[in-house]
Structure formats: C-alpha cells, structure tokens
Amino acid sequence: MTCVPGGIPISQLIGERLPITGFVGFYAVLIAVAISLAMGTIAALRRGRAADTIATSIAVLGISMPDFWLSYILVFALALGWHLFPAYGFVSPSDSPLGALYSGFLPALAIAAPMAAVFARMLRASLLETASREYVVVARSLGFSAPFVFRHYIFRNALIPYVTVIGLQIRYLLGGVVVIERIFGIQGLGSLMVDAAFARDYPTVLACTIVFLSIVLLVNLAVDLICVALDPRRST
C-alpha cells in the first residue's frame, strides 16, 4: 500500500503504530484476566454469600459503564486526585518498558474493566456448572481434598468456556482501544484511524480496518489453539 497521506507510506505508519496498540491491548487483556480470575473464583467459591453478591454486582456495573467514561473517572481519581498515575503522555515500550507499563496502566485498566466484568461472570458460571459434574462427585468419593478437587477437576475444566469468551470479547476490546487512544493521546492504530476519518483519508481508514480485522482473526486462531490444548477431546 503506497498511497501517501502527507508523504508517509501507510504501511510504515501502520508498522509504527501497530505495536503500540498491540501493547495496550495485550496489557488490557492481562489486567482483565487477572481481575476476572480473582473475582470469578471468589464469587463461585463463596456462592450465595456476601462476597458473591458484591462481586456479581461490581461485574454488572462494570459491563454497564462505557469504557471511555470510566477512563475519565479513573483519571479523575487516580491521576488528578491522588497523583498515582499520569493522566497523559504515553511512553512507548520501545523507549522505556517500565515507562510504558506505568503510563499505560490507566488506559489499559479503562479498557480492561468492562471486559473483566464479562470474563468474571463467565468464569463464575462455568465454575458452578463444572462443580456439578459427575466427575467431581467421583473425585470427592475417592477422598481427594477440596483444594485438590477444585484445582484439578473444577477449575481446570471450567477454563475452556472462559477462554472461549475471552476470544469472543476481543472484538469489543479493540473497539475500546480506539477511543481510549484518543483520550490518552496514545499514538496507536486507533488514533491513526480517527485522524484519518476526519481527514477523509479513505485508504488509511480502510487499511486500519483491515488490520484490525486481521488482529481479531489471529486472536481467534490463538484462542482456538489454546482451547484444543486445554481439551483433549478436541484434538483426537
């Protein structure tokens, strides 16, 4: 692709910006997975009790907040209020990995929060469903301890629907990246696309869309591979 807005070839622009978007996106997924593993497990283990209700309510709220709004709340609280994180000025990971982790935390968290909510609900449902399977009763009848049964029988087998949902949610995650990049001034693929949209730069917009599509397809492929690895029934 050699169509040149302002003299720079599109492919070069994309090449520069894609890793940044990739970094932020991946960071967001990591945070979302970490939060949801904790919340989903607690909610399932303490099912019906206070912790479950709290976790589930937080999850429902999390889904209901648009991520670009949440990012402002976070900035308000954690950057302007308590000065814990920077409100602006993303440092590229190639310049400084630690700086990227630090400056990228708020944007990644903003994207991750609604995702974490969806993942947590799925994990909770999956854990509860797996816990009622017959092999869990058999495992307990053999006298395996509750932590052992949870780790090897329940959690391990509940991962499959959980990972599947992560793959399905990538579409929404990438959408969140676009707006968040704008808010935090991150020079990624999303802000490139928005700038190009205002400039009516059709080739760039098209190129960005296709790149995003490719990311989704690649991630889906990766998730499929992980699911096959997790579930022996699929590979044979």
Partner 1 sequence: MISRRQRRSRLFAAFLGNPTAVLGAAITAFVLLAATLGAALMPYGPNYTDFMDLLSSPSLAHPFGTDSLGRDVLTRVLYGARVSLVVSAAGVAIAAVVGTALGMTSAYKGGVADVVLMRLADLLFAFPSFVLALFLMVVLGFGTANVSLAIALTYFPIFARLARNMTLLVREEPFVQAARLMAEPTPQILLREILPNIAAPLIVQVTIGIAFGIVIESGLSFLGVGVQPPTPSLGVIMADGREYFQRAPWVLTLTGVAISCALLGLNLFGDGLRDLMDPRLRQRAQQ
Partner 2 sequence: MIDVPQPVVELRGLRTRFDLHGGSIEVVRGVDLTILPGEILGLIGESGSGKTLTGLSILRLLPGNARMSAQVLRFRGTDLQRLDDDAFQALRGRRLAMIFQNPVGAFNPAKRVDWHLREVIRRRDGAATEWRAPAEQACREVGIPHPERVLRLYPHQLSGGMAQRILIAMVLALEPDLIIADEPTTNLDNIVERQILALFRRLQTRLKAAFLFITHDMSVAAALCDRIAVMYAGEIVETGPTRQLFEAPRHPYTQGLIATSIALKGKAERLQEIAGELPSLISPPSGCLFSPRCPQVMERCRAVPPPVFGAEHRTRCYLAEPA
Which stretches of the chain bind partner 1, using CB under 8 A?
60-61, 63-66, 68-70, 72-73, 76, 80, 168, 170-176, 178-179, 182-183, 193-194, 196-198, 200, 202, 205-206, 208-209, 212-213, 215-217, 220
Helix residue ranges per DSSP H, 132-188: 134-141, 146-149, 156-184
Distance CA 2, CA 184 (A): 29
Contact between 151 and partner 2 (CB under 8 A)?
no
Distance CA 162, CA 227 (A): 10
Contact 47, 66 (CB under 8 A): no
179 makes contact, choosing from partner 1, partner 2, none, with CB < 5 to 8 Å by partner type, with partner 1
What are residue 187's phi and psi, to 5 degrees?
-80, 70
Contact between 139 and partner 2 (CB under 8 A)?
yes
Distance CA 143, CA 166 (A): 34
Least distance to partner 2, CB of residue 234, Å: 10
Least distance to partner 1, CB of residue 182, Å: 6
Least distance to partner 1, CB of residue 198, Å: 7
139 makes contact, choosing from partner 2, partner 1, none, with CB < 5 to 8 Å by partner type, with partner 2
Contact between 147 and partner 2 (CB under 8 A)?
no
Contact between 141 and partner 2 (CB under 8 A)?
yes
Tell which one of 150, 153, 184, 212 touches partner 2 (CB under 8 A). 153
Residue with tokens 């399977």: 133
What's the Cα-to-Cα distance from 36 to each of 30, 50, 124, rounded to whole Å?
Answer: 10, 18, 9
Contact between 138 and partner 2 (CB under 8 A)?
yes
Distance CA 26, CA 29 (A): 5
Least distance to partner 1, CB of residue 93, Å: 22
Mark residues 93-132: x for contact with partner 2 by CB under 8 A, - for none: ---------------------------------------x
Contact between 90 and partner 2 (CB under 8 A)?
no
User: What helix, strand, coil percent values describe the chain, rounded to 5?
Assistant: 80, 0, 20
Contact between 236 and partner 2 (CB under 8 A)?
yes
Contact 180, 107 (CB under 8 A): yes
